[in-house]
């Protein structure tokens, strides 16, 4: 009878661990991949990046106040060897997106990003923030200048603010990818592609050709690269 109770206890503990893992996936869109090759923390960034303003409840969002402490935990945890960032985002709050990008870029642990679906707007710095980046063949990335939502005063100071914000984004992308400044600025200021906006949409192969992303690939390529980086 005692042996049966021990088995039941182990089964209950295993079920509880599974339940906690599923709760983590639902709440923070993250999960851990544990194998003999190493432990990888998988983080998904989807929808809009939510920053200082709360977006409507029907919007799919990634909240930066959840991601920032999570990344700090990944960096310091002895049980996690590497980080996999999976992106399918339309963009969002610029400063929040840059904050997350800087956190990932500043990590000492191996980090790989994978763009699935789209890595648009502020999703571009997020995609290049990892030490190595992948993009799916069918994925796209939209590059365009910084914009402001809502009402703002049309004075020179506002234009200077926009220019400084744009330069912050530009410098980060140039520092963390192989794209040339002239190419990047030409792409974001392109007037012949988007109907109601300035900018360019890059397919997977084009993003690699310009040096924005390191390689076209999928989930298996990203995970295999991380295992090699862990060694």
Residue 9's CB is within 10 A of a number of other CB atoms, namely 10
Catalytic residues: 121, 144
The pair of three-digit structure tokens given for residue 27, joined into one six-digit string = 């709440």
Residue 190 parent element (H or E):
none
DSSP H or E segment with residue 22: helix 2-28
Query: Distance between terminal CA atoms of the chain?
Result: 46
Cβ atoms of 133 and 139 closer than 8 Å: no
Partners of 45 in the β-ladder: 87
The gap from C-alpha 41 to its chain's centroid, in whole angstroms, comes to 13
Alpha helices of the chain — where are they, by DSSP H? 2-28, 64-76, 94-105, 123-128, 156-176, 181-188, 204-209, 219-230
């Amino acid at each position: 009878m005692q042996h049966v109770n021990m088995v039941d206890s182990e089964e209950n503990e295993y079920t509880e661990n599974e339940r906690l893992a599923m709760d983590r996936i639902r709440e923070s869109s993250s999960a851990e991949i544990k194998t003999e090759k190493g432990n990888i923390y998988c983080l998904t960034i989807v929808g809009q990046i939510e920053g200082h303003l709360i977006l409507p409840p029907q919007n799919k969002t990634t909240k930066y106040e959840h991601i920032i402490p999570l990344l700090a935990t990944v960096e310091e945890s002895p049980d996690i060897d590497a980080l996999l960032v999976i992106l399918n985002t339309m963009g969002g709050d610029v400063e929040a997106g840059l904050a997350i990008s800087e956190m990932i870029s500043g990590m000492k642990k191996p980090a790989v990003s994978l763009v699935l679906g789209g890595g648009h707007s502020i999703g571009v710095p997020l995609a290049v923030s990892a030490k190595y980046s992948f993009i799916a063949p069918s994925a796209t990335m939209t590059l365009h200048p910084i914009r402001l939502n809502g009402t703002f005063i049309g004075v020179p100071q506002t234009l200077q603010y926009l220019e400084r914000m744009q330069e912050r984004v530009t410098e980060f992308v140039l520092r963390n990818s192989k794209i040339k400044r002239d190419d990047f600025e030409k792409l974001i200021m392109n007037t012949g592609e988007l109907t109601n906006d300035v900018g360019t949409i890059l397919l997977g192969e084009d993003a690699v050709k310009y040096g924005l992303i390191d390689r076209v690939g999928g989930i298996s390529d990203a995970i295999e690269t991380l295992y090699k980086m862990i060694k």
